[in-house]
Chains A and B, each alone.
Chain A
Amino acid sequence: MMIKSSRPLMAALAVASLAFIGTPALASGGTEHPPAQKWSFSGPFGTFDRAQLQRGFKVYKEVCAACHGLEKLSFRNLYQPGGPGFTEGQVKTLAKEYKVKDGPNESGEMFERPGRPADRFPKPFANDEAAKAANNGAVPPDFSVIAKARTYERGFPMWLIDIVTQYQEQGVDYITGILTGYGAPPHGEKIEDGLHWNRYFPGNKIAMANPLVALFDDAGKAQDANFYTDGTPVTREQVAKDVAAFLMWAAEPKMEERKQTGAKVILWLIVLAGLLYFTKKRIWARLGDAH
């Protein structure tokens, strides 16, 4: 009986409870959706590819960091578990390359000193106004959580399927798309001064010039074929994916711990649910009913 009367209720409520979800930050007009990439960190057992994170950090540092901060991160994060896997020594050396503001000293002056692992990444601009002044009136967004702050509309029924498949890499796919989506506008499209055409940017007109011109010539050939020291081929797609993966880690540094904990928790809950099911059956058997 229970099953009979509750099945439609269950189905309707499942839909009811889930149908409202999924109204992403960037409603896209006629913009293309970025293609879904393969990521080592997707799925319930995903982990970051350490080498990829290290390459991505190099791209961030040499291409993005001039304009985009990473203010929620500290240098020490680079050697914590579940991250790019730098050694403490490497990070100490790296931190020393940065000038960090400190003070005031005995005479009341602020001063600069070499960075330490506990310091946060210094901001590229002193404040938003300085950032605007240097960037045509637009503030380059901070990159600490950018991989979680960007998305695109999945549409029905994809967002429902995503619950089961755990697809949640919209942000990194979008970043990869933006970095590879620059090009000439389609015939008849006018581009205003200071804007650039991008296939995957909502509205297609993006203020940021293609940042990867620093690494590639117009034909897409790497300026420095040895940009990566681990032998990975230096291509636009590779560079875009590497920096996107790095930004995913930057936004979600505890992802590996989270997923690994999750597997244990869910497994345990399933065992407990099974035991409770049989306990319940056994206790209710005392009633001799049809339950």
Chain B
Amino acid sequence: MADHSMSEPNRRDFLFLATGAAGAVAGAAAVWPLISQMLPDASTIAAGAPVEVDLAPIGEGKAITLKWRGKPIFVRHRTKAEIEAAKKDDPEIKIDPEPDAKRVKAFEGKAQEQWIVVYGNCTHLGCVPTGFAGDYNGWYCPCHGSHYDSAGRIRKGPAPKNLFIPDYAFQSATKIKIG
């Protein structure tokens, strides 16, 4: 079975290359649907449409937890004292420095400092922190002991980042749209 007939090497090589390339393209094209099917499907994406949240029922010093795209979102109505304390601590934030003003959004040019809207998952490993708890009376994550202040900023513990703020905007003074 010696490999004879080595004539016309160019045409032969081209044929083999073209065949191999066409086969490789076919194989790659067949792989894409297999990967793509694991991405969020159309119903999941549709169910993750933006939601509107009415803030009126949330009294001062209270907070609610709502579920959006399968994750908890904390909406907290801060008291004047909490806001003052958080602002005063701005220079103290060491782990993920961010002023209190950056943790809130404005409506018609006016900062809505009383409203804190954050994802309710600890930035360490995703546990849900307990509200009105911890050394700073913001949130405290029982999993690995991360302490957040009332603006959701990490103050102590293993979490590397402040609680993430979802995309949201004020529709009116008492209504936000998340997403």
Contact = CB atoms under 8 A, between A and B. Distances in A.
Q: Do the two chains belong together in a single complex?
A: yes
A269 B26 contact: yes
Interface string B35-59: 0000000110011010000000000
B22 A116 contact: no
A164 interface: no
Interface string B6-25: 00000010011011001101
Contacts of A20: none
A116 B26 CA distance: 40
Contacts, number: 40
Given A278-B15, A279-B15, A285-B5, A268 B49 contact: no
A74 B25 CA distance: 36
A268 B23 CA distance: 9
A275 B15 contact: yes
Contact of B42 (A80, A271, A278): A80
Interface residues of B, number: 18
A272 B30 CA distance: 14
Nearest to A277: B19
Nearest to B44: A118
Contact of B4 (A272, A278, A286): A286
A4 to B, nearest CB: 27
A74 B19 contact: no
A268 B22 contact: yes
Contacts of A84: none
A275 B49 contact: no
Nearest to B5: A286
B3 interface: yes
A276 interface: yes
Contacts of B26: 268-269, 272
A74 B47 CA distance: 11
A282 interface: yes
A268 B22 CA distance: 8
Contacts of A205: none
A50 interface: no
A275 B5 contact: no
Interface string A190-216: 000000000000000000000000000
B43 A116 contact: no
Interface in A271-291: 271-272, 275-276, 278-279, 282, 285-286
Contacts of B19: 272, 275-276, 278-279
B46 A76 contact: yes
B16 A118 contact: no
Contact of B16 (A268, A272, A279): A279
A271 B26 CA distance: 11
A171 interface: no
Contacts of B42: 76, 80
B46 A275 contact: no
A117 interface: yes
A276 B19 CA distance: 6
Contacts of A285: 5
Nearest to B19: A275
Given A268-B26, A269-B26, 11 more contacts: A74-B46, A116-B49, A117-B49, A118-B43, A118-B49, A272-B22, A275-B22, A278-B15, A278-B19, A286-B3, A286-B4
26 contacts: A74-B43, A76-B42, A76-B46, A116-B49, A118-B43, A118-B49, A265-B29, A268-B22, A268-B29, A269-B26, A271-B22, A272-B19, A272-B22, A272-B26, A275-B15, A275-B18, A275-B19, A275-B22, A276-B19, A276-B23, A278-B19, A279-B15, A279-B19, A282-B15, A285-B5, A286-B5
